[in-house]
Structure 1
Amino acid sequence: MAHSSYDLPPLDGLTAMLAAAEEGSFSAAAGKLGLTHGSVSRRIAALEHWLGASLFERHGRGVRLTPAGLRFVRDARQSLGRLSHSAEQWRPRRGRQTVRMSVVPSFARLWLLRRLPAIEQSDTHIDLSLDHRMTDLDNREAEVVIRYGRGTWVGVDARQIVEEMLAPAASPGLRDRMSAAPVIDELLQWPLLHDSDTSQWRAFLSRAGVSYRPRWQDRRFEDYDTVLAAAEAGLGVALIRQPLAADWLTDGRLTTITLQTMANPASHFVCVRAGETRQAVLTVRDRILALAAEDRLEKTA
């Protein structure tokens, strides 16, 4: 018998079949399920009709699976096991709601991870994935996404987490090799460090009339925190993004080179689907924004 993709077996028949396969008789299966012998028999008969094959054959005072029954029970156990495993990932844990979040790795390491307990609190579990690619909110790959850009994505409710300021920075050792007040031309004598997005360096240098294109001595890294680590190692000059990377200045790993700063044309946004109604998702979004606001107040106090 041919079945469409929506022609599914009766679930109560599957339950009765698995119980009978485990117990070896319809009577024992009925006792296990709290049903009558006749009810178990009818459910299995309906399942056999759907399948178009006999599942059990009688022997003595019990039943045993036919060859078709053996194969179908094996497949049913595997399929139901996968469903159960999948459900465990999203089922509320002790009353906690699970929210799927996708974040670029550098932002997770520089800002999010230390604040994750304050975002989750006692009522939410964040299922966190670190991903460089643009996660699709419409396809429910994630419910909360932290994206880096200008916040103009279509179909997305994007809220800026923090406005960033850019300034050239280097290790104290490399800074000591520069003049007291280096100008842009002197900066260009050193390798410039950047991640996959060079728009910050282009924007910063264009203010001094310099059209920037990456050179052979400049270094590109996939993650922004790796850019900072490379600058700490003395490999070149990086644009430090404050307050995201403020710790690298306060603990002396990096030092700013010039007094020139500029607003970053891009920043991190916490994003949900436009029209999102799930309260747990909106609560996570609002807690992230509240923590960012607290950070700003602490720095201006």
Structure 2
Amino acid sequence: MNNDDDIRNRLMLNAALLHAIAEEGNFSRAAQAVGLEQSAVSHRIKSLETALGIRLFERTTRRILPTEAGRIVSDAARRCQEIWSSALMHIADVKTSRTLRLSVSSSVTMKWVVPALQRAQAAGLDLVVDVEDRLVDLHAGEAKAAVRYGPGPYPGFHAEALLPAYLVPVARPGLLQGDLTPDAGAVGPPLLADRSALTDGTGYTWEEYFKGRNWPHAPAKTVNTFARADLAIQAAIGGMGIALGRTLLIENDIEAGFLEVVGKPVPAKSKYWLVTTAATADTEGYRDLRDWIASEAATARRQHEQLFSRT
């Protein structure tokens, strides 16, 4: 074992202690947090500092303060603790075969999954919803499955198409007199959109909507963007402008009278998918999840027909 390996092993063994010292700012409280004698804490830190050849903490009469090197190792220790906490959480999921960890974007969670959770419980699903706007690593076990919005079909995964999607302009009732027109980018209320969709390849943009309507120019200066689709939709509910809605995110708000459709729906190039690994797809728990989501998707289709067939 070379010297770097020895130091790395020492840092790993003392990750919990380093994190506790950074959090507590005191050797005595850190010792209590990790179940050590204070003298053992002092000895371990001195040993680490000797091995690294640099001071990690400045000792004052009132508080222990990390040096620059101390901040570096303490931050690494914190991330190490988070990784192991996540690993233990996933191990608990594996031990409980009925527990299913489903990764869903924040917008789809707020507008579709949360209203349906009670029905998931009634169906007997032990469902844990991870709200993640990033693409989780399903092969690494960060989640059992994920609902994704995109063009698909996600090579290397088991992917099942759930629903097609439509782009639908929506606004607070009464905000717009009549429907959206081709000059919406220049006159009338501001257009609201999801900022991330400009770069994620899903085509969830006003440019795609205008193209779908065969209108020659997409709006430019009058589009106000938000970090998430549900925030843009919420802004529309508040009367801030016209949001580019997307099916599955707007139906409940339309039925509740918070929004109204102000333009013809346009088929989107992306759709909703249920994605998992090939190994998970063969499990009974995943099949239960798929059956429940398929039932919810069928309900959503009926909503689409009722709300948009007359548009």
TM range (shorter): 0.5 to 0.7
Note the C-alpha offset of 1:159.
Answer: 1.9
User: Between Structure 1 and Structure 2, whose CA radius of gyration is higher?
Assistant: 1
- Provide the aligned length of Structure 1 versus Structure 2: 220
Check the 8 A contact 2:102/2:143 in 1, yes or no: yes
Q: Structure 1: 5+ residue runs without aligned partners? A: 5-66, 72-80
Query: Equivalences for 1:172-187 in 2 at 5 Å?
Result: 172-176=173-177, 180=178, 182-186=180-184
Coordinate RMSD, CA, aligned: 3.4
Note the C-alpha offset of 1:243.
Answer: 4.8
Note the C-alpha offset of 1:173.
Answer: 4.0
Query: Structure 1 residues 213 and 295, CA, compared in 2 at 3 Å: closer, same or farther?
Result: closer
Check the 8 A contact 1:165/1:261 in 2, yes or no: yes
Deviation readout 1:91-132 (Å, 9 max, x if unpaired):
656xx6111211101111111122224334475422221111
- 1:286 has 2:291 as partner: yes
Query: Equivalences for 1:119-268 in 2 at 5 Å?
Result: 119-121=120-122, 123-176=124-177, 180=178, 182-186=180-184, 188-189=186-187, 190-195=189-194, 196-198=196-198, 199=203, 200-206=205-211, 207-212=213-218, 214-215=220-221, 217-258=222-263, 260-268=264-272
Check the 8 A contact 2:90/2:141 in 1, yes or no: no
Secondary structure, counterpart of 1:184 in structure 2: coil
Check the 8 A contact 1:151/1:159 in 2, yes or no: no
Check the 8 A contact 2:112/2:248 in 1, yes or no: no
Note the C-alpha offset of 1:256.
Answer: 2.1
Deviation readout 1:59-91 (Å, 9 max, x if unpaired):
xxxxxxxx9xxx9xxxxxxxxx98996587326
TM, length-normalised to structure 2: 0.60
Identity of aligned residues (%): 24
Check the 8 A contact 1:184/1:208 in 2, yes or no: no
TM, length-normalised to structure 1: 0.62
Query: Structure 1 residues 139 and 88, CA, compared in 2 at 3 Å: closer, same or farther?
Result: closer
Check the 8 A contact 1:100/1:126 in 2, yes or no: yes
Distance 2:136 2:180 in 1: 41
- 1:89 has 2:88 as partner: no
Secondary structure, counterpart of 2:133 in structure 1: coil
Note the C-alpha offset of 1:212.
Answer: 2.8
Check the 8 A contact 1:102/1:144 in 2, yes or no: yes
Distance 1:293 1:202 in 2: 29
Query: Structure 1 residues 281 and 142, CA, compared in 2 at 3 Å: closer, same or farther?
Result: same
- Residue number in structure 2 paired with 1:111: 112
Note the C-alpha offset of 1:145.
Answer: 0.5
Check the 8 A contact 2:170/2:243 in 1, yes or no: yes
Distance 1:158 1:173 in 2: 41
Note the C-alpha offset of 1:300.
Answer: 5.3
Q: Structure 2: 5+ residue runs without aligned partners? A: 6-39, 45-83, 307-311
Check the 8 A contact 2:151/2:270 in 1, yes or no: yes
Check the 8 A contact 1:191/1:218 in 2, yes or no: yes
